[in-house]
Amino acid sequence: MREDEQRSPLQPELWAIGNKAVLLGYVIAAAFLNDPSSAVASWHMLVYLLYLAINVTILIFKAPSAKWLLAAASVALAVYAAFRLEPLLLLLLPANLCELAERFARKRLAALLLVLFAVLLVPYSLIPSYLLCGLLSYLLYAYGGALSDKLGRLEKERERMRADLQRLARMLSENHEYIRQSEYTIKLEERNRLSQQIHDDVGHAMAGALFQMEASRLLMQTNRDKASELLGNAISISKEGLERIRQTLKDMKPRAEELGVNRLRLFVDELSAKETVTATLSCDGDIDVITPIQWKIIQQNATEAVTNALKYAKASAIHIEIRVLNKFIKAVVSDNGVGAEKVVKGLGIVGMEERAASVGGTVIVDGAKGFSVTTLLPYESR
C-alpha cells in the first residue's frame, strides 16, 4: 500500500490534535500575559501536561469507547481546573465536546449545539473568545468528519472495484480456458469428420479397385478380355477416388479473401480488446480480386500503421478500410489522434513503402486530420 494511502485516514485526527495544541498554546499565552507568576505555577503546569497527555492518548487508542472516555476526562479536567485555577481553560472545551457529541449523536449539528450550550459555564468576559474558539473547532470537526466519511466511501468503492476486478479476471481466465478447450474440440471434430469422409468416399473406392485388380490378375491367363475389363474398371475407380480426394482438399482450403478478411477482423477485435481504443473494419468492392501476396502486404502495413498510431497519435479510435476500385486496391488506416503537420519517415513508413513497391504499389501518409496511412496496390481486372 502506498504511503499516502496509509496516512490519509489519520489526517482528521491529526488536525484535531493540532487544533487542541493551538488552543492550549493560546490559553497558556493568555494566562501568562494576565498573570505571569501564576501561569507558570506548578499546578498550572500539571494541568497543561495532563491535558496534553490525555489528548495525545486519544490519538493513540483505536477503540471508540476508550477515545470517548478520554475525551470526557479531558472535559472534566478543563472544567475543574477552570473553576479552581484559570477560567481561560474553558476555551479548551469545544474540541473535546465535539468528540463527545459524536459518541451520542449522528448529526454533526449536535456538536455545535453542545458547544453553544457549554457557554453557560463561561464567564461573561470570556464569551467572545469562547465562541470564536468553539466555532473554529466545530468547523474543523465538521470538515474532518466529512473528509473521513469521504475516505470511508472511497475505501469501500475501492474494495468493491477490487472485488469486481478479481471477479472479471477470474471470468476472463475461465473464458480463455473455455476458448482453448473449444478450439481443441473443434480441431478434433474436424479431424474426425475428415477421417470419416475419406473413409466413406475414398476407402470404399480404393477397396473396390483393389478387388477388381486382384480378380484381373487371376483371370489374366484364362480370360484376357474379362481381365482387361476388370482392370479398366479398377483404373476408373482409382481416378474417381483421386478426384474425390482433390475435391475434399479443395473444399477444406479457405479462399484467399476469406483468410485475408478474417485475419484483419481478428486483428481489429484483439486491438479493441487489448488497447484503450475503438477499432473498426470495413470492406467495399470485389475483394475476391485481392491476391494472397496483396493481403499479406495489407496486413503488414495495417499492423505497422496501428503500432505507430498507438505510440504517437494519442488516438481513441482507429478505422481500417479496404476498398477495391477500378484499377487499385485501397487500404486506409486512419485515427482521430493529434496528427502531424510534417511527417518524418522512419523505418516503419519506409518498410511499408518497400512492401507496397514490391508489387507496384505506393503508400501515402497524411497527418492533417488525425493520422492516416493509405496503401494503393494495382491489380488486373478480370
- Give, in degrees to the nearest 5, the angle at Cα 203 between 201 and 208: 105
Neighbour count for residue 122 (Cβ, 10 Å): 19
Mean pLDDT, to the nearest integer, of 182-203?
75
7: cell is: 496516512
148: cell is: 473521513
User: Taking 70 as the threshold, does the pLDDT of residue 127 lie above it?
Assistant: yes
Neighbour count for residue 360 (Cβ, 10 Å): 10
Length of the chain: 382
Task: Please say whether the beta carbons of 310 and 277 come within 8 A.
Answer: yes
pTM for the structure as a whole? 0.46
- Give, in degrees to the nearest 5, the angle at Cα 78 between 77 and 80: 65
- What per-residue confidence (pLDDT) applies to 381? 66
Separation CA 23–CA 17 (nearest Å)? 10
Nearest in space to 248 (alpha carbons), one of 203, 185, 187: 203
Which residues have C-beta within 8 Å of that of residue 32, sequence separation ≥ 6?
39, 40
Mean pLDDT, to the nearest integer, of 162-181?
82
Nearest in space to 330 (alpha carbons), one of 284, 278, 263, 274: 284
Eight-class DSSP state of 252? H
285: cell is: 468492392
Neighbour count for residue 273 (Cβ, 10 Å): 9
Which residues have C-beta within 8 Å of that of residue 1, sequence separation ≥ 6?
none
Separation CA 19–CA 31 (nearest Å)? 18
pLDDT bracket for residue 256 (50, 70, 90): low
Q: Which amino acid belongs to residue 283?
A: C
Instruction: Tell me which of 13 and 135 has the higher pLDDT.
Output: 135
Q: pLDDT tens, 30-73?
A: 777 777 777 667 777 887 788 888 877 877 877 777 777 887 88
Separation CA 302–CA 335 (nearest Å)? 12
Give the alpha-carbon dihedral of 340, 343, 344, 346, to 10 degrees: 100
Q: pLDDT tens, 361-381?
A: 999 888 777 888 999 999 876
Which residues have C-beta within 8 Å of that of residue 343, sequence separation ≥ 6?
349, 365, 366, 367
Eight-class DSSP state of 370? S
Separation CA 16–CA 10 (nearest Å)? 10
CA atoms within 13 A on the CB side of 87: 12
- In terms of Cβ atoms closer than 10 Å to its own Cβ (0-12, 13-18, 19+), residue 178 is exposed
Percentage of the chain modeled with pLDDT above 90? 5
